[in-house]
Chain A
C-alpha cells in the first residue's frame, strides 16, 4: 500500500467511510477511495462487490447514508448527476445510458449543449465533437443514430460524452468488457493521454492483466468494503485475484476436441440487409454437435446481425439456416427456441431481462412455453421460483432471493442469471454473444467450465466474443468477420490474439496458415 503519486496536492477525489444500503443489502460499507490528480485508478472486485454502486455514488446517482465525498480536498454533496458534472466528474456506465433514437451528436451534447442565448448551437457542437473524436481517435459519426450503432460504437459515444463536458475525473465502469484488444489498446492510449493532461480516471474492470497494465494504483473491493489499495507494478494478477476472491486466476485452457460428425446447425449463403445495405453477406458455416464455432471481428462487422438472424429476430434476405437438418429459415423465434436453441444476447438489459420483474419471472422469459415452469397454456410460478433458486445456487447468482427485481442485481450477476437460464434448458444449440461479459474472474472460469462440459455432452455453440482469449480458448474453429463477410477461417490451436487481431482489422486476409476441417478431426 503506497501513497498517492503527488502527496502534497489534495487528492482529486476522496471517498471516506462511504456506506450505501439498499433494502436488505449493504452494497457499500465503510469504503475508502482516494484518487490523485493525473492518476489512473482501477477498482476491482467480484460481481456484486459494490463497484458500480460506489461509482454511482460518486456520480451523484444516489446519496450514501454515511461518509463524505471530497473533490480537490473540498467536501461536496452530490445529489444528482447534474451536481457531479458540475464538479467535473463524468461517468461511462456499465449499462449504457444513451438515448437510442437520438443521433450521436445529440447524445454527446445532451445536458450540456453549446448554446447562443437560448438557441442550441449545432455547428459548434459538431465542431467540438469532431475535434474530440479526432484527438482521441474515436471515429464518431455525429449524425448516426445510436440505435444503429454497435456496442463498441456506443461505448465510444459514452466516452466522448464525458470528454465533451471537459470532465476532470472520468469514471469508466467496465469500459473494456466488449472491446477487442486493438480497441482496448486504443482506449488505454487515450487514457494515458488524458492522464498526461492531468485528468484522473477511475475505472472498473474484471480483466486483471489489463488493470495492471494501465492503472497506477488498484483498489480491491470485497463484499461491499475496501480490502486495500495496491500499486499496480507491485502486484501480480494472481495476487490480485486472491485479494478479490481468494482463488486463483482462471485460464481459458483448451480441452480435447469433442467435435462429432453430426451437423447441428448449418448456415448457407446468409445475407441480411439494413437500410438498403448488406450488413451480412454470403455467410456459410456449420456447427457440429460438441463443437464451439467462434466468430471474431471488430464490433460493427455483422456479428449482431448474425446472432439475430440465427435467432429469427431478423429476417434474412437470402440464404438458409438449418437446425438439426431441418430448414428453419422462416420459422419463428419461438419455434427455434422450442427446437432447442438458446440465446445469450450482447445487451442483456435490452434483449434478455425484464428489469422491473422479479427474478423468477425472468427465469420464465424465453422458456414460458416449456415445462416445468412454463407450458402450452399455463405458467407455474412455484416451479419457476424453485428453478430460479436452483439456477442461483448453481451459477452463483448473488441475490437475496427470487422475488428481487432483476434490476437490483449487479451487472455480473444479471449475466450469470441469463447464462444459467439458457443453459438450464439443456439446449442443443447455444448462440452466445459475449457470454462472460462483465462477470468476475471466478465466475468466468466456472462458466467456461460449464460451457466445456456442455460441449462434451454434445452442445453446439455459436460463440461471438470480444474477449480473444475466450474465443481462442473455447472455440474448435474460428471465423473472422469483416464488413458482414467471413473473411478467414482459423484454427484456434495455432493462432494468437495478436494474429487474430490483424485478421479482424483486415490487415491479413484469407485462410493462410489455417487447417481444414478434415485436418482437425
Chain B
C-alpha cells in the first residue's frame, strides 16, 4: 500500500526539518538494518530480531534483514535499498544510524523510519526508541556491589561512545550506592566512539586483568565481545553480568551461563514489537524513551543467583522511578 502523506505539521519539537508525518495503512513489508555484528551476536541485534519476529508472527508481514559491510560504510545505503524495495517501516538498529537515517529520511519523506538508540531526530518520519540504559545499569551495578566479596567490581565497554559510557555511568553509580568505597575497574576495547562489539579476545584479556586486580563481578557493554568476559569469569570462577538480553538464556553454553549473575535487560524486543503493533493499530509511531518506569530496561533473575537481592534491587528501582535517585548518564571520570 502506498504510504499516505500526512500533514507535515509536526506537533512537538517545534518544526521538523525533514520528512513528513507518515501514516501507514497496512504493514506488508518491514526492513531491518543491523548494527555491526549482524544476526547472531547474542545480544543487541538478536534482541531486535526477537521483537521483529514476534510481531511478524502476529501481523504477518514480510521482513527483509540487511547487514552492514565490514567497514560499516554502507549503513545509509542499506536504508535506501530497503526504502527502494518498498519496505515501510524501516528499522535501523543502533545509534550509528543516527546521521545516516536522518539523511535518508529526508530523501524518503513518506517512509517511516524507526531507530533504536541514538540522539533525537529532527525528522517527522523518524521515530527514535531510546532506553534508559544508565538506570538499568544502576540496578545491575547495585547487584554487583551486593554480590562482590572483594569490594572490587569490573566493567568492560566496547568503546567510548556516549551510549556505551552511559552503561558505565549507571553501573558505577549503582555500585557506589551500595558501597561508596567500592572500586570499579573499567576497560574499553576501542579507543574511539566506534566498534569494539566484535572482539571477544580483547574483552577476555581485559576481563582477566580486572579479575587479577580483585574484581569478582564483571559487567560488559560490548555486544558479542562480551563472550570473552564470560569466558574469563567462568575460568576464574567469578561472576559476569550480561547486557541487552537475558544472556543466561541466550549464551548457549551452560558452562558460561552458570557464571552469569544477572543481565541488564534492554527490552528491545518488546519495544520493537510494540512500535510495530502501534503502527498497525494507529498508523503511526512516535519517538519514545523507555525507562525503568515503562519496563524499557530492567534486570534478569534467571538462574536464581540474585533471588535474595531482589527486594533491595526493587527498592532502588522504586527510588529511581520516583525520582528520588537520579541516575546520571555521564561517568564521573
- A touches B in complex, CB < 8 A: no
Interface residues of B (CB under 8 A from A): none
Interface residues of A (CB under 8 A from B): none
